[in-house]
Amino acid sequence: MSESDKSMHSGLLAVEGVWWKAIPKQEKLWITIAFIWCLILFAMMPLWHMRGGQNPSGIRAKVTPAEYVERVERFVEDYKVGEDNGFPVVEPPAGAHIYLLARMWQWYPVLKLKKNTKYILHLSSADINHGFSLFPLNLNFQVVPGYDYGLKVEPNQSGDFRIICNEFCGIGHHTMVGKVIVID
C-alpha cells in the first residue's frame, strides 16, 4: 500500500497521527439505530414488571436446609389428601403458601392446585442446587440450598403437569421428576 492511502489502512498497521476523525454517515446511521434498539431492549424489562404477568422477582429469604425441610413436613401434614406412587398428594387452600422440596433425587410432595387460583410457591433444596422446570409449560427457576424463593403463581389451565430437574445434581439427576395436578 502506498503512502498516499493513509486514510484507508488495515488493522495490522500502527496508526500515525490523529485517528479521532468524524464518523462517516453510514456508520453514524447504523450506530444511531443500534443504540435506539438497545434502549428499547432495556425499556422492555421494567415495562414488563409494570404491565406483564411473568416476572422472576418473588419473595426472597435465607433459610437453612433443616428449617426448610421442617416447613415442608408441616405443610404436608396440614393439607395431605392422598398418595400417588409413594408420594403424599397435598391440596392447599387458595392463597396458601406452598412449600416444595427439592432433594437428591425427588420433588416432594405431589401438588394438587385449582385453576385460576393464586398461591405462593416456595422453592428450596435440602442438599445441592436443583432446577425447577414445570413441564410442558417450560417455566424454569433455579433452586439453591440455603435460599427460599417464594413465587406468586396462578395456574391458567388445568391438567397433569410434571416438574423436571434441569440442574445437574449427580448420578440420579435424570430420575428426578415430580408431579403437579391442576383441577378446574
Partner 1 sequence: MIQTLQAKFRTCSVTGLKVNRDSELLIKANAVIAVVCLLVGALAAFGLVLTRWQAIHLLPADWFYRFLTLHGLNMLIFFIIFFEMAVLYFAGPVLLNSRQPAPKIAWASFGLMVIGMLLVNTMVLTGNADVLFTSYPPLRAHPVYYLGIILFAVGALVVTGLFFASLVVAKREKSYSGSIPLVSFGALTAAIIAAITLVHGAMTYIPTFLWSLGYMELDPQVYRLLFWALGHSSQQINVAAMVALWYFLGAVTVGGVVLNEKVSRTAFILYILFISMASAHHLLVDPGFGPAWKVWNTSYAMYLAVLASMVHGFTVPGGIEMGLRLRGYTQGFFGWLRKAPWGDPGFSGLMLSLVIFGFLGGITGVTIGTEQINIIVHNTMRLPGHFHATVAGGTALSFMAATYYILPLIFQKRVSFWPLAKIQPYLFGGGITTMAMAMIYMGIFGVPRRLWDTSFSNAPFSVEFHPVVWVTQTIFGIGGLLAATGALVFVIIAVATVFFGKPLTPESIAKSASGIPQGILKLPPQIYSGSEVQNVHERGAKGTVILVFIFLGCFVLYYFVNWKILSFVWKVG
d(CA 163, CA 16): 62
User: Whole-number minimum distance, CB 146 to partner 1, in Å?
Assistant: 6
d(CA 106, CA 43): 39
Cβ proximity to partner 1: between 80 and 152 the closer is 152
Cβ proximity to partner 1: between 72 and 133 the closer is 133
| Location of C-alpha cell 389451565 | 157
User: Whole-number minimum distance, CB 2 to partner 1, in Å?
Assistant: 6
In DSSP terms, 129 is beta-bridged to none
CA dist list (Å): 168 to 102, 130, 143, 149, 165: 13, 7, 11, 19, 8
Cβ proximity to partner 1: between 73 and 164 the closer is 164
175 within 8 A of 117, measured Cβ to Cβ: no
User: Whole-number minimum distance, CB 52 to partner 1, in Å?
Assistant: 6
d(CA 131, CA 78): 26
User: Whole-number minimum distance, CB 70 to partner 1, in Å?
Assistant: 19
Cβ proximity to partner 1: between 49 and 78 the closer is 49
